[in-house]
Structure 1
């Protein structure tokens, strides 16, 4: 915190074993105040007000979020105007999480990685004219026999690379 740089390019926070939500919040807010462009967060949980600040950061180009925290989005239309890479791993999403609104709030997004449990979603709808690489990894969350079926709808006209991992995938065209 005593560091006085005007800008931080890359900031990695690894507090996966720390239950200190306020400490996590302080470090993330510090990085955001310093205009961080690449942010990599490994934490068990953090305050939902922090996620709203994360999703409104104009300086972020890369955001990797490995957290077992509930994601809440701000009400604004555009969240991350310069974001090119977004990775969400093991995050908890509310039942009606507006994934399409999040993606549309990233008009420069080229790479998207979604890992973890999306079993609460009936439909995952991903639409982006700029997305080039997409990874959907449902294996990392674990296999469940009684997991409900989730439909995946993709509208990605410039997609070059697609990686889909699951225990059982049924693809219809």
Structure 2
């Protein structure tokens, strides 16, 4: 007899001969709903899923609603409660009946020395205070949950990865600053902010990190009259992504100590004449990904200043959202071709029009531009 559960196949039943500790580590690679299925194999497999040092669970993985879902969580958390927990990944939506039970699920998992915590909801329950003090957390992903002001100093000495999406903060604007300052080895920070609900977002952020290497900041929506200020101090930052889907962009972003920055991805209504000024603060930049900056004012479309990175480090430029009919795009392409000494690739991504017609004026024009780098390859999409 051969039974299959994901990648788990029992032929000669050699897996059943393995120690329980090893089998539980194998099941850790599966989603919890698949791990539970192994309990029907034999009496020896019946409770192995309870020994798996992690949960990866969606609310719809179990019979709908009622008390099945919370009773399952309680059973798992209480079983062998003194053992360490490697990961706890839970997603549940439209389950308001569980709001009050939320802290009872998350708190104990943190106390069990958890390394990876991933919580996604759509009801905004507040995370327990003990997430601010963990000597074991390596990654913490939070989606649509609430963060209260820490009632003491934050201490997360092992946390390296911190994605935060649609977080609801309390009235203290320093909540996020305190969280980041308590992560002494943080390397990767992602913030996706939905900004359409008054009273649930912070209008300013000062972020300081001596260890941060990658930072992604995205504004998904906006509320009328809400402008945001972001100030970043991260001397080891190598990658920055700043995406904004707001109309009438008026946010202010200030980034200090950019000598280590190697790649930038900008997708926002950034005025064209400000681009060289921004790039001047990135003297060692190697890779730039950007939308085509379009201005309706002709006098704002001139590019004359050449920042240091174009002369000494920039190797790859990708420009998205080009149109064959816009002069701004032509000027931007010409600017990088004529001024980038070490440029190896110029990737052009067009919108709205087919570029199959190689006789079009824009494609002809690109071929006539002067290339300062004879190694530059132009790639058109």
C-alpha deviations, 1:103-129, integer Å up to 9, x for none?
111111111111123574332211111
What is the TM-score when the length of structure 2 is the normalising length?
A: 0.41
Instruction: Please say if 1:15 is aligned against 2:96.
Output: no
Instruction: Please say if 1:109 is aligned against 2:109.
Output: no
CA distance in 2, matches of 1:23, 1:153: 37
Contact 1:25 1:46 (8 Å CA) reproduced: no
Matched residue of 2:169: which SS? coil
CA distance in 1, matches of 2:213, 2:138: 15
Instruction: Please say if 1:64 is aligned against 2:141.
Output: yes
Gaps of 5+ in 1: none
1:122–1:42 distance in 2 versus 1, CA, 3 Å: closer
C-alpha deviations, 1:118-171, integer Å up to 9, x for none?
5743322111110001010112xx244x24211211111000011111023457
Q: CA RMSD in A?
A: 2.3
Alignment of 1:11-160 (within 5 A): 11-19=88-96, 20-45=98-123, 47-48=125-126, 50-67=127-144, 69-98=145-174, 99-117=176-194, 120-139=201-220, 142-144=221-223, 146-160=224-238
Shift of 1:41: 0.3
Instruction: Please say if 1:165 is aligned against 2:243.
Output: yes
Matched residue of 1:101: which SS? helix
| Mean CA deviation greater in 1-10 or 33-42 | 1-10
1:72–1:143 distance in 2 versus 1, CA, 3 Å: closer
CA distance in 1, matches of 2:244, 2:218: 6
The answer to which structure, 1 or 2, has the higher relative contact order (CA under 8 A, 6+ apart) is: 1
1:90–1:80 distance in 2 versus 1, CA, 3 Å: same
Matched residue of 2:158: which SS? coil
CA distance in 1, matches of 2:239, 2:231: 16
1:46–1:32 distance in 2 versus 1, CA, 3 Å: farther
Q: Which has the larger radius of gyration?
A: 2
The structure with the largest helix share of the pair is 2
Contact 2:94 2:123 (8 Å CA) reproduced: no
C-alpha deviations, 1:15-67, integer Å up to 9, x for none?
2222111332222123113211000001234653x431222222211000012
What is the TM-score when the length of structure 1 is the normalising length?
A: 0.84
1:134–1:158 distance in 2 versus 1, CA, 3 Å: same
CA distance in 2, matches of 1:135, 1:65: 15
CA distance in 2, matches of 1:93, 1:107: 22
